[in-house]
Amino acid sequence: MKLAVIGGDGIGPEVVAEGLRVLRAVHDKVETTEYDLGARRWRETGETLPDSVLEELRGHDAILLGAVGDPGVPSGVLERGLLLRLRFELDHHVNLRPVKLYPGVTSPLAGDPTIDMVVVREGTEGPYAGAGGVLRKGTPQEIATEESINTRFGVERVVRDAFRRAQRRPRRKLTLVHKNNVLTKAGDLWSRTVAEVAPEFPEISVDYQHADAASMFFITNPGRFDVIVTDNLFGDIITDIGAAITGGIGLAASGNLDPSGAHPSMFEPVHGSAPDIAGKGVADPTATVASVAMLLDHLGLTAEAARVEQAVAASLAARAASSGQPLSTREVGEDLAERSTSASTSAA
Amino acid sequence: MKLAVIGGDGIGPEVVAEGLRVLRAVHDKVETTEYDLGARRWRETGETLPDSVLEELRGHDAILLGAVGDPGVPSGVLERGLLLRLRFELDHHVNLRPVKLYPGVTSPLAGDPTIDMVVVREGTEGPYAGAGGVLRKGTPQEIATEESINTRFGVERVVRDAFRRAQRRPRRKLTLVHKNNVLTKAGDLWSRTVAEVAPEFPEISVDYQHADAASMFFITNPGRFDVIVTDNLFGDIITDIGAAITGGIGLAASGNLDPSGAHPSMFEPVHGSAPDIAGKGVADPTATVASVAMLLDHLGLTAEAARVEQAVAASLAARAASSGQPLSTREVGEDLAERSTSASTSAA
Ligand SMILES: CC(C)[C@H](C(=O)O)[C@@H](O)C(=O)O
Ligand SMILES: CC(C)[C@H](C(=O)O)[C@@H](O)C(=O)O
């Protein structure tokens, strides 16, 4: 496995080190190349993602990213110049985000709800396209526009992907989340596409929620969701709600996938670089390790993926039951690596 | 007070009747005109908002709306044709939504957080402008766009309104919610406008949250927010999250304001027409009555507004403490009317 590694800034390199520890524990043929990208590089060189680096990244099987950014970088520079550029250039049209409340993890929602869904967020178009413009900037007559671009091609492929994922889950339910009562043009394209693809998946029950109502149900009744398919911006928001209700952004994993395999997919924890705790060895690498499980699954190493996923669940349950000191970044990594390999033994 | 009343569909007329009961209890000069708009009218006549009705509405001091819609009406018809048309034609640029957890009301969030904020949602531009289009509809090459239109004029007036509201609140805090790291053009306009208006309000502390992070904090730390100013679409989503964390959409009030007074403002509960419980006399009219309090406040009847607001709080606390049968729509309305007037006596 040729893996590109972007540790990034803040706690990024720390959590990625533990992700790699676990990856190596379950798979012995990992060849890594590290890429220095993020706030530090931008500050030193003005570069966000040089074309030559992008070309090199294309030569890998997958990318593991920690986190980039720090408060000194103007908003948008690394987001558009690095993170979104990677998603767009590498055609990461399936932004996959499981929303799962692990046993033992405390939800801020009262009454310990069962939460186990996966959000398939479109990753290469919609309001994230970057289209739009500014006229008469800085004057009282300024106008700024943002254009959401939605194509049948782009919507259909992510809708199909979501249907296929729903097929592999016990509840076999797919919910389209949009705002088709207001964004009638894009909303209609999404709704029609789901309706037209649905007959190919007769065993999947399909429903629809507006983004505002869905956000509410994430709180009042998260158990109603199984697989969600949604546009880039709604997906951004609802997956953060999903992270919040399942124990916080510190546990949320994500994959930016090109399911066709034409480009390397990228895996990253949803959390940021957390400069306040960087270098202290206290960051929780669990979200990165859960992202490694997604990476393994994406590359067809499903048994290894399952072991890491089980290790994550077991480790979280054990930590919840323990009354000791919180573990260090490295201790969590070692625990997860050990659980991933002993799970392997017991399964053998 | 010349009041236009749009009961609408489903439970709309039932809750509006109780809103009027309370309004009349605290103010004896209410002259109402009822307008038949909504799903029923659309089905019978194909009309959503005839120009002549719009002209008549303009002649009123305020509008009270129940809820419109039912599952038989295609998505978007009444939303764009009636609700949004009213907001745009009557220049309702301040969509005001208090997010407040009343004592006694159960939040789905564990640990009984304190929640008391107000969201100032822009109401006349942004992604709700209706701009955009569709090309090659129904073909594999279909493209659908939605355009968010943001003007300095439109942003500045709502930002100023939010600053003024923050001035009148003890915590004096304003948070801009946007997504300026991705929607860089509109986000920059919003951020610059807040930064430029802020020096006029030196006593207000100002911060910024991305819409995804804000949605998360509504769940993990709602107490950090006081006044929020945000665009039309982010405001739509976060106010539903706000409703969810404060006991549900059944209690959420809203005002669609033209603070200049040039056009009548419109007040409505955030909930929908709930056809499943229509006609049963069980709908909770509290959100409508809380919207009536906002109406009174908007028209300068601040003492009356405060009495209704206090009645809502007292009634919710009493209902929480009672172990009896849930009250009917009418019983809640009568209780609120009585509390509004006895509060009046005791304050006199
Ligand atoms: C950092 C930002 C560009 C990104 C997004 O908006 O997609 C983040 O919020 C996420 O969800 O991965
Ligand atoms: C019904 C719909 C047009 C409306 C909106 O999107 O604004 C509703 O969700 C609301 O929040 O008032």
Which architecture does CATH list for B107-246? 3-Layer(aba) Sandwich (3.40)
Chain center to CA of B66: 12
* Chain A: closest CA distance from residue B226 (Å): 20
A213 lines ligand 2 (CB under 6 A): no
* Chain A: closest CA distance from residue B346 (Å): 38
- How far is A290 from A51, CA to CA, in rounded Å? 30
> A215, B184: Cβ pair inside 8 Å?
no
pLDDT, residue A250, reads 86
Three-class secondary structure of residue B37 per DSSP: coil
Q: Whose CA is nearest to atom 9 of ligand 2?
A: B236
- How far is B95 from B39, CA to CA, in rounded Å? 23
What would the mean pLDDT of B300-318 be, rounded to a whole number? 97
**B297 noted as active-site residue:** no
CATH of A1-93+250-347, one of 3.40.718.10, 3.30.565.10, 2.40.400.10, 3.30.1600.10: 3.40.718.10
What pLDDT digit, counting tens, does each position of A194-214 carry?
999 999 999 999 999 999 999
Q: Whose CA is nearest to atom 11 of ligand 1?
A: A236
Residue B240 pLDDT greater than 70, yes or no: yes
> B109, A107: Cβ pair inside 8 Å?
no
* Interface test with chain B among A145, A245, A246, A273, by most B beta carbons within 10 Å: A145
* Chain B: closest CA distance from residue A10 (Å): 18
Residue B189 pLDDT greater than 50, yes or no: yes
Q: Which of B37, B84, B119, when mutated, tests ligand 2's pocket best, judged by the most ligand atoms within 8 Å of its CB? A: B84
A212 lines ligand 2 (CB under 6 A): yes
Contacts of B317 (CB under 8 A, 6+ apart): B102, B103, B104
Ligand 1 proximal residues by C-beta, below 6 Å: A 79, 83-84, 236; B 181-182, 212
The per-residue pLDDT of chain A, averaged, comes to 96
B81 in a known ligand binding site = no
Query: How far, in Å, is the centroid of ligand 1 from the Cα of A54?
Result: 19
What would the mean pLDDT of A331-338 be, rounded to a whole number? 98
CB atoms within 10 A of CB B28: 8
What pLDDT digit, counting tens, does each position of B152-169 carry?
999 999 999 999 999 999
CB hemisphere CA count around B274 (13 angstroms):
20
pLDDT, residue B181, reads 96
- Per residue, what are the HEC states of chain A? CEEEEEEECCCHHHHHHHHHHHHHHHCCCCEEEECCCCHHHHHHHCCCCCHHHHHHHHCCCEEEEEECCCCCCCCCHHHHHHHHHHHHHCCCCEEEEEEECCCCCCCCECCCCCCEEEEEEECCCEEEEEECCEECCCCCCCEEEEEEEEEHHHHHHHHHHHHHHHHCCCCCEEEEEECCCCCHHHHHHHHHHHHHHHHHCCCCEEEEEEHHHHHHHHHHCHHHCCEEEECHHHHHHHHHHHHHHCCCHHHCEEEEECCCCCCCEEEEECCCCCHHHCCCCCCCCHHHHHHHHHHHHHCCCHHHHHHHHHHHHHHHHHHHHCCCCCCCHHHHHHHHHHHHHHHHHHHC
A216 lines ligand 2 (CB under 6 A): no
Choice among A128, A161, A231, A297 that is catalytic: A128
Q: Hey, which residues 187-226 in chain B have their CB within 8 Å of chain A?
A: 187-189, 191-192, 211-213, 215-216, 219-220
> A146, B219: Cβ pair inside 8 Å?
no
B17 CB near a chain A CB, below 8 Å?
A: no
pLDDT, residue B343, reads 60
- How far is A134 from A136, CA to CA, in rounded Å? 7
Choice among B61, B173, B208, B240 that is catalytic: B240
What would the mean pLDDT of B25-34 be, rounded to a whole number? 97
* Chain A: closest CA distance from residue B153 (Å): 6
Chain B: residue whose CA lies nearest to A196 = B138
Residue B120 pLDDT greater than 90, yes or no: yes
Q: Which of B177, B179, B182, B184, when mutated, tests ligand 1's pocket best, judged by the most ligand atoms within 8 Å of its CB? A: B182
Phi (first) and psi of residue A227, to 5 degrees: -105, 135
- How far is B198 from B173, CA to CA, in rounded Å? 11
The per-residue pLDDT of chain B, averaged, comes to 96
pLDDT, residue A345, reads 46
Band (pLDDT 50/70/90 cuts) for residue A343 is low
Residue B129 pLDDT greater than 50, yes or no: yes
What would the mean pLDDT of B57-72 be, rounded to a whole number? 96
What pLDDT digit, counting tens, does each position of A153-188 carry?
999 999 999 999 999 999 999 999 999 999 999 999
* Interface test with chain B among A97, A182, A193, A197, by most B beta carbons within 10 Å: A182
**B28 noted as active-site residue:** no
**A70 noted as active-site residue:** no
B85 lines ligand 2 (CB under 6 A): no
A275 in a known ligand binding site = yes
- Give the rounded percent of residues in chain A with a pLDDT score beyond 90: 96
pLDDT, residue B324, reads 86
- How far apart are the two ends of chain A, measured CA to CA in Å? 23
Q: Whose CA is nearest to atom 2 of ligand 2?
A: B79
Q: Angle B211-220/A232-245 helices, nearest 10 degrees?
A: 20
- Nearest residue, CB atoms, A133 vs list B143, B185, B237: B185
- Nearest residue, CB atoms, B144 vs list A185, A239, A248: A185
Contacts of A284 (CB under 8 A, 6+ apart): A15, A250, A251, A329, A332
- How far is A296 from A253, CA to CA, in rounded Å? 13
CB hemisphere CA count around B67 (13 angstroms):
26
Classify each residue of A13-26 as buried b or exposed e, where b means 16 or more C-beta atoms within 10 Å of its C-beta.
Answer: bbbbbbbbbbbebb
What pLDDT digit, counting tens, does each position of A42-83 carry?
999 999 999 999 999 999 999 999 999 999 999 999 999 999
pLDDT, residue B348, reads 35
> B219, A215: Cβ pair inside 8 Å?
no
**A116 noted as active-site residue:** no
Band (pLDDT 50/70/90 cuts) for residue B249 is confident
Residue intervals in chain B for CATH 3.40.718.10: 1-93+250-347, 107-246
Element (H, E) at B296: helix B286-298
Residue B346 pLDDT greater than 90, yes or no: no
What pLDDT digit, counting tens, does each position of A110-143 carry?
988 999 999 999 999 999 999 999 999 999 999 9
Choice among A9, A102, A179, A231 that is catalytic: A179
Q: Hey, which residues 107-166 in chain B have their CB within 8 Å of chain A?
A: 107-111, 127-128, 130, 132-134, 138-153, 156
Choice among B9, B100, B161, B179 that is catalytic: B179
pLDDT, residue A346, reads 46
Which two tokens mark A43?
A: 């500050």
**A185 noted as active-site residue:** no
Residue A342 pLDDT greater than 90, yes or no: no
- Nearest residue, CB atoms, B148 vs list A80, A146, A240: A146
CB atoms within 10 A of CB A137: 15
A347 in a known ligand binding site = no
